[in-house]
Amino acid sequence: MRIDIVTIFPEFFDVLDLSLLGKARQSGLIELGVHNLRDHTHDRHHSVDDTPYGGGAGMVMKPEPWGDALDSILGDGAGARTTDGAGTTDGGVTHEDGPILIFPSPAGDQFSQAMARELSLEKHLVFGCGRYEGIDQRVVDHYEARGRVRLVSLGDYVLNGGEVAVMAMIEAIGRLIPGVVGNPESLVEESHEDGLLEYPSYTKPASWRGLDVPPVLLSGNHGAISTWRRQQQIERTERVRPDLVTPHLLPPANAKTTTS
């Protein structure tokens, strides 16, 4: 997968050299380009923002540097176009093959594990990190008319800019790309993958500060262990995130816990 990021703080993304995603870059599974928006300004002060039309607090990011930066990544003509004739010719029609342009925004669709999975199948993601009160709306409108564009929010709270949100999205998406996480089985039993929160985990020692590991986990009875873990997932999800519990995911009525 190719990932491009446009930002006024390219250093934010230095940490993508580290850990699993850093390895994925070294091995070529992920190709990353971080672009400084200020490199696409043409005035002496490299300004990227200006006062809002209609008044109000804060500053708005100017459209020209964004257009310049995004054209240089997407190609002048449009951005998200196929060349095989399957999708579009000159009309700038949306289709499924070109890059997806993602603007992190508290006004966007909420990011989720399902969205991360969907995006992990893409060949090219382009993230545009806004700061201040946002980017001139015409930037979104322009690229929406030429390809796939999404506004994506991390959740119902406000960040100072899109950088931290994009970092979270890239981590969630990147680890779903085959080969990035060493043991793909570890992806299966995680929170949100099956619509439930994950079960609690334990390691040695069997007793620590008077707290014992649940005996079933030491029993060697694999059936009992998976029943217990499923039950823990359900109990935890009902307690912490009742909004996630959907009846069809609950175990059959005859399933019951076999421990303590």
At 61, is the secondary structure helix, strand, or coil? strand
Shortest Å, Cβ 78 to ligand 6GU = 24
Among 82, 153, 231, 258, binds ligand 6GU (CB under 6 A): 153
If one asks whether residue 159 binds ligand 6GU (CB under 6 A), the answer comes out as yes
If one asks whether residue 106 binds ligand 6GU (CB under 6 A), the answer comes out as yes
At 169, is the secondary structure helix, strand, or coil? helix
**Is the distance from CB of 102 to CB of 169 less than 8 angstroms?**
yes
What is the rounded distance in angstroms from the CA atom of residue 100 to the CA atom of residue 74?
10
Is residue 220 marked as binding? Answer: no
What is the rounded distance in angstroms from the CA atom of residue 143 to the CA atom of residue 79?
7
If one asks whether residue 128 binds ligand 6GU (CB under 6 A), the answer comes out as no
What is the spatial order of strands in the sheet that 124-128 belongs to?
Answer: 31-36, 2-7, 124-128, 100-110, 148-153
Shortest Å, Cβ 38 to ligand 6GU = 19
At 60, is the secondary structure helix, strand, or coil? strand
Shortest Å, Cβ 251 to ligand 6GU = 35
Among 79, 104, 128, 147, binds ligand 6GU (CB under 6 A): 104
Is residue 213 marked as binding? Answer: no
Maximal CA-CA distance, the chain? 73
If one asks whether residue 53 binds ligand 6GU (CB under 6 A), the answer comes out as no
Q: Which stretch binds ligand 6GU (CB under 6 A): 2-10, 159-167, 178-186, 244-252?
A: 159-167
| Residues in a beta bridge with 109 | 152
Question: 153 vs 258, which CB is nearer to ligand 6GU?
Answer: 153
> What are φ and ψ of residue 60, in 5° steps?
-115, 145
Is residue 155 marked as binding? Answer: yes
Is residue 130 marked as binding? Answer: yes
Is residue 157 marked as binding? Answer: yes
- Residue appearing with tokens 């079933």: 216
Question: 86 vs 158, which CB is nearer to ligand 6GU?
Answer: 158
Is residue 147 marked as binding? Answer: no
The DSSP output letter for 111 is: P
If one asks whether residue 149 binds ligand 6GU (CB under 6 A), the answer comes out as no
If one asks whether residue 107 binds ligand 6GU (CB under 6 A), the answer comes out as no
Residue 134: count other Cβ atoms within 10 Å of its Cβ: 21
What is the rounded distance in angstroms from the CA atom of residue 175 to the CA atom of residue 89?
34
Q: Which stretch binds ligand 6GU (CB under 6 A): 15-23, 65-73, 102-110, 245-253?
A: 102-110
At 250, is the secondary structure helix, strand, or coil? coil
Residues that bind ligand 6GU (CB under 6 A): 104-106, 152-155, 157-159, 161-162, 165
- Residue ranges of the binding site for S-adenosyl-L-methionine: 130, 154-159
